[in-house]
Every structure is written in C-alpha cells, then in structure tokens.
C-alpha cells in the first residue's frame, strides 16, 4: 500500500507510521515530496490492518495496489471456476449458458408451478427458480409460503428433473432450504448480510449471490470472498440491476459491463437477471441478449403461468407462451454465435 501523509505531517508523525510498519515487518520506502511525504509499504495486511494506519495522526490517505478480494481473484486462480451438478449440468467456463426459470414466488397453485417447470424442461432449461421466503419492502405484501413452497419445488423437480434454486433469507432456515434446494440464492438485499454469507460459506451447496442494488463491483466480489473464505467455492454471481436516478421507465439500471469486468477480475461464473434488472417484460429479451453477448454464463428469468394473477412481480414476469418465444430467440442466438463464443472474453488490452 501507499501511504500519503498530510501536507503538515510532522517528522514524529512519519516516524510513528514507519515504526509501526517496521514492527510488523513491512518493507518500507519513504519519499519526501515537495508537498506530501509518501510511504511505500509492502507486507502482510492480515497482521496489520491498513485502517489502523489510516487513523494515525498526519496520515491523509492510503492507496492500494492490489484488490482486497484474494480468493475470488484471477490473480490466485486464472482458470474459470466451473460448477458441476450431479445430473451433469455445468455452469461457467466454456459451457453453454444456462437458464434459471420460474415464478418470483411459489404460490398455492402447484399445477401452475408444474406447468412452468414442464415447459422450461421441454425447452431445454436447467433450473427451476421460485421463492419460498420473500423479502418485501412493505410489510403488507405477500411474503412467501415457506416450507410448503420448498415442498412444491422439490415435487416439481421430481416431475421434471430440473434443479431447484431458491432464496435463503435467514440463517435459521439454512438446514431446511438445504434439504430441498440444489442451489441456494442470496438475495440482493442480503448481499452484505455477513452472517448469511458465512453460513452459506460453510455449507456444501452452490450459491447464487445477487449483486446489491447499490453495491460496487469491489463490494460484490468481497461478498463472494466471504463465502469462499468460509470454505465454499461454488459461487455463481448474478447481476440484477442497480438503483439509479432514473427509474421512470425501468425499475433498475442493468450494469451489463459488469459481466466482462468481473470476468477479467475473477474466475467465478456470472449470470444476468433481466427480470429484476429492468422490471419490464418487454426488456427481458433484449437485455438477456446483451448479457449473453458480453459473456454471461446464464440467464435468470421470471416466468409465471398467469402473470396477471401473480402475487408478486407480475409486471416483470413472462407468461409461458411469451417465454417460449423469447427462449427460442435467445437459444437461436446462442447457437448462431456459438463458434464465436470465445470472443466474449476480452482479448484487447
């Protein structure tokens, strides 16, 4: 790290900093500039936190050379992480993009869920998604069926062979959700619920980690780092739109560039969710395409057997016939561009 001292830092201030660095066996070089003294320090930041130096008298700011996420970084692991499921499905690397499809919330009508799952399976999708526990901005909204929903999802898996993705909202539900799900989702609002990250980091299931609506890419990868650090390397990142000053026509602002940026910084797979990312049915197809051409490893889409009666997110859900049409186009585009797929990996430095 590079420590920039205040204009008026005293010789004592500088000495206090270098003494502390030396004590922790950092390699230290001091440059006296015309205005600021700059201290270059190389050493093990797990033994001496930069925050501690930052708080010392006379320190103006600290600049970092390396990114703070280590396990998630391509610096540590240059090959793409590929997540494999028992039925042979693979996510990440050079594998064909996957589709995670289903209603926002699982509802009382099991037949509706099964209808969606059957259609998704027939088209060639790999995952059934659906919420059992729903985070709701208002306490007056429907917040999910809980275990009954998990049972429905498992039943639909039995019937179709799709893998099940569902959100975990609370550490205390971890065992329950693990009993039913193939992939645990950590929702955008919980991206910095560190207890939850720690808990899913200790279990042995793949995790879909959604980017928080106001999270930087660095914070996003640090959230993944929490999971990796606790022992679970099976993390699938998901870009789902950011909060912006313009929400007149879309619910969120999708950061499509985050896909190639993260591919460069990290080895983890990343998918896109244009349903939440835009909140508009008509934008799902174009934004799924945008995600796919920049290298996304999959797409998550909300599909409901009857969006007009959906208890949540109906506005951004596709009906089954609509999804069939969209999927067919996306699939054709994936086929057509197949040979060029590697071009999505940035090669112009």
Q: In the window 188-217, what residues touch its own copies (CB under 8 A)? A: 189-190, 192-195, 212-217
Residue 104: count other Cβ atoms within 10 Å of its Cβ: 24
* Beta-carbon-side half-sphere exposure of residue 199 (alpha carbons within 13 Å): 20
Does 33 bind its own copies (CB under 8 A)? Our answer is yes
DSSP letter for 190, please. G
| Residue number with CB closer to its own copies (91 or 326) | 326
| Residue number with CB closer to its own copies (146 or 154) | 146
Binders in 37-66 for its own copies, by CB under 8 A = 38, 40, 42, 45-46, 49, 51-52, 54-57, 63, 65-66
How far is it, in rounded angstroms, from Cα 329 to Cα 335?
A: 10
How far is it, in rounded angstroms, from Cα 121 to Cα 299?
A: 15
| Residue number with CB closer to its own copies (89 or 334) | 334
Least distance from C-beta 155 to its own copies, angstroms?
25
* Beta-carbon-side half-sphere exposure of residue 312 (alpha carbons within 13 Å): 25
Does 150 bind its own copies (CB under 8 A)? Our answer is no
| Residue number with CB closer to its own copies (15 or 161) | 15
- H or E element in which residue 267 lies: none
Does 256 bind its own copies (CB under 8 A)? Our answer is yes
| Residue number with CB closer to its own copies (158 or 340) | 340
How far is it, in rounded angstroms, from Cα 271 to Cα 96?
A: 12
| Residue number with CB closer to its own copies (54 or 122) | 54
R_g of the chain computed on alpha carbons: 23
Binders in 11-30 for its own copies, by CB under 8 A = 16, 29
Alpha-carbon distances, residue 101 vs 113, 119, 128, 236, 291 (angstroms): 11, 10, 5, 16, 16
Binders in 97-126 for its own copies, by CB under 8 A = none
Is there a contact between 152 and 131 (Cβ–Cβ < 8 Å)?
no
Q: Show the binding pattern over residues 317-336: x = contacts its own copies (CB under 8 A), - = does not.
A: xx---x--xx--x--xx--x
Binders in 159-178 for its own copies, by CB under 8 A = 169-172
Does 311 bind its own copies (CB under 8 A)? Our answer is yes
Does 140 bind its own copies (CB under 8 A)? Our answer is yes
How far is it, in rounded angstroms, from Cα 123 to Cα 79?
A: 30
Of 348, 191, 349, 345, the C-alpha closest to 262 is 345
| Residue number with CB closer to its own copies (158 or 339) | 339
How far is it, in rounded angstroms, from Cα 44 to Cα 35?
A: 28
Does 219 bind its own copies (CB under 8 A)? Our answer is yes
Binders in 291-310 for its own copies, by CB under 8 A = 291, 293-295, 307-310
Does 146 bind its own copies (CB under 8 A)? Our answer is no
Region near its own copies per CB under 8 A, out of 92-100, 106-114, 157-165, 315-323: 315-323
Within 193-283, residue ranges assigned H as helices are 194-202, 217-229, 258-265, 274-278
């Amino acid at each position: 790290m590079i420590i920039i001292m205040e204009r008026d830092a005293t010789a004592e201030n500088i000495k206090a900093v270098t003494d502390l660095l030396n004590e922790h066996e950092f390699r230290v070089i001091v440059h006296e500039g015309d205005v600021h003294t700059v201290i270059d320090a190389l050493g093990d930041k797990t033994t001496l936190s930069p925050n501690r130096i930052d708080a010392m008298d006379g320190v103006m700011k600290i600049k970092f050379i390396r990114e703070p996420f280590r396990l998630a970084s391509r610096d540590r692991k240059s090959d793409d992480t590929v997540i494999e499921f028992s039925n042979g499905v693979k996510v990440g690397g050079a594998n064909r993009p996957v589709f995670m499809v289903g209603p926002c919330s699982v509802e009382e009508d099991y037949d509706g869920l099964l209808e969606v799952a059957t259609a998704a399976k027939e088209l060639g999708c790999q995952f059934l998604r659906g919420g059992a526990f729903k985070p709701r901005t208002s306490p007056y909204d429907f917040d999910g069926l809980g275990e009954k929903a998990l049972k429905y999802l498992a039943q639909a898996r039995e019937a179709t062979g799709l893998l099940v993705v569902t959100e975990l909202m609370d550490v205390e539900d971890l065992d329950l959700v693990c009993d039913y799900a193939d992939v645990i989702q950590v929702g955008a609002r919980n991206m910095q619920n560190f207890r939850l990250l720690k808990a899913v980091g200790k279990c042995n299931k793949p995790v879909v980690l959604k980017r928080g609506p106001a999270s930087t890419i660095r914070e996003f990868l640090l959230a993944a780092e929490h999971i990796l650090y606790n022992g679970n390397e099976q993390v699938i990142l998901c870009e789902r739109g950011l909060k912006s000053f313009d929400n007149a026509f879309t619910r969120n602002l999708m950061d499509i560039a985050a896909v190639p940026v993260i591919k460069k910084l990290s080895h983890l797979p990343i998918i896109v969710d244009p349903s939440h990312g835009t909140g508009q049915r008509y934008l799902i197809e174009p934004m799924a395409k945008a995600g796919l051409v920049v290298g996304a490893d999959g797409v998550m889409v909300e599909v409901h057997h009857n969006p007009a009666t959906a208890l949540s997110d109906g506005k951004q859900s596709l009906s089954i016939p609509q999804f069939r049409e969209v999927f067919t186009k996306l699939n054709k585009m994936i086929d057509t561009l197949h040979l060029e797929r590697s071009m999505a990996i940035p090669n112009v430095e």
